[in-house]
Amino acid sequence: MAAVSPARRAAYEVLLRVFEQEAYADRAFRSAAEGLDERERAFAQRLAYGSVQRVRTLDYAIETLGRRPVRKLDPPVRAALRLGAYQLAYADTAPHAAVNESVELVRRARLERAVPFTNAVMRRLSDGIGPLLESLPDGSLKESYPDWIHEVFVRVLGEEGALALMRAMNEPLETVVRLVRGSPPTGAEETDVPGAYRVERVVEVLVAAGRIWPQSRGSQLAGLCVGSQNGERVLDLCAAPGGKTGQLRGEVTAVEIDPARARELRDNLARMGRADVTVVEADGTALPPELDGFDRVLVDAPCSGLGVLSQRPDLRWRATPLPDLQLALLRSAAERVRPGGTILYSVCTLNPEECEAVVDASGLRVLPLGGEWPAFAHPSRPEFLLTLPHLHGTSGFFIARLVRSPA
């Protein structure tokens, strides 16, 4: 048998697991890339994540040029063609390498009967995928997003803004860490968010030592906007994995409903030197009665994640808006904060139904944030903050500071 590069083999395994077994791309990649050296690992990640992100466009090309519905193909053939098509369209791979190794992946899957078909389709893609994709009109098919996500982005930003946003989230964003303690990493660059440093790569030894924490500027901004101080009682209602929790000052209680994520939260906080945080396993919408009378509450709610699609390549295909849960969490927070206490509501999405509409439905009074952070003021509701990947180079976050009025 001809050789298949370790990087392509790993990317192929990720595609199979994500689309045939509903695995998460990051978890599938971690296991598939075990044993790869740094260069192979980086190439495998680019191929795997890129193919997952671009799958709608790739399937369009495979069906148009291969003249067979993708859903009717054997899973190994489907994964091999998607990987090969991505390399031809987006990765500057030599056409013969993309063709030959895609064919070899099918052969290794013991699908000899499908080898001629795979070879024929790959050769048609090699000749035609460039002109085909170039002829597509700008929009969700060309940029490979579900139509509903494109429509959300258009509502928020208009057609041109939506297109710029989709393009930005098809590329890697900046790499940023939060300085936990000590001096910044060598070569790190200060940013417009205090404590956030732009780096070439995350040095895992420094993470393990608790000196830095990988966390986008948008995420760090949300943690800063809580404004917690020493001497205050602070509740973090949806705390795992703990990046924002580690930013909070005062007597902090962190709530997490999932036991496995609660373990991860404890481990992460220990690594950051935050043994002072109390972790409680509970449902944020049905808190134990003793969790009451807090000065500040952070509600970093579960959401559709439309602001972090660059970092999570499979999320665009499984994203679900969660406005009912978000409103329930916000109302739960309002019951547990003292009169006059503040609630910081943040979500890593740009969907108005999960952002402004949830805040408006809560009935809580808004404390304007746009004046404090004018660079990140929401374009149409400046009392809120909205970080935008195509404008700010960071993940997309909606941030609102709210207050429970005194009784």
**Tokens, residue 330:** 């916000």
Contact assessment for residue 65 and residue 84, using Cβ atoms and an 8 Å cutoff = no
Residue 348 designated active-site: yes
In 10 A of CB 120, how many CB atoms? 14
Contact assessment for residue 359 and residue 343, using Cβ atoms and an 8 Å cutoff = no
Q: Which residues contact 169 (CB under 8 A, 6 or more apart)?
A: 309, 310, 389, 390
Helix axes 75-90, 55-66, angle to 10 degrees: 100
Residue with tokens 């090969």: 84
> Nearest 5°: phi and psi at 186?
-55, 130
Antiparallel, parallel or unpaired: β 278-281 and 212-214: unpaired
Listed residue (64, 74, 54, 53) closest to 118, CA to CA: 74
| Cα separation, 281 vs 258, whole angstroms | 7
Q: Given the residues 225, 238, 348, 355, select the one marked as catalytic.
A: 348
Sign of CA dihedral 122, 124, 127, 132: negative
**Do you know the residue count of the chain?**
407
**Tokens, residue 241:** 């994995």
* Helix/strand/coil for 361: helix
Contact assessment for residue 277 and residue 253, using Cβ atoms and an 8 Å cutoff = yes
Q: Which residues contact 126 (CB under 8 A, 6 or more apart)?
A: 88, 95, 98, 99
In 10 A of CB 71, how many CB atoms? 8
Helix (H) or strand (E) holding 400: strand 397-403
Which active-site residues does the annotation give?
348
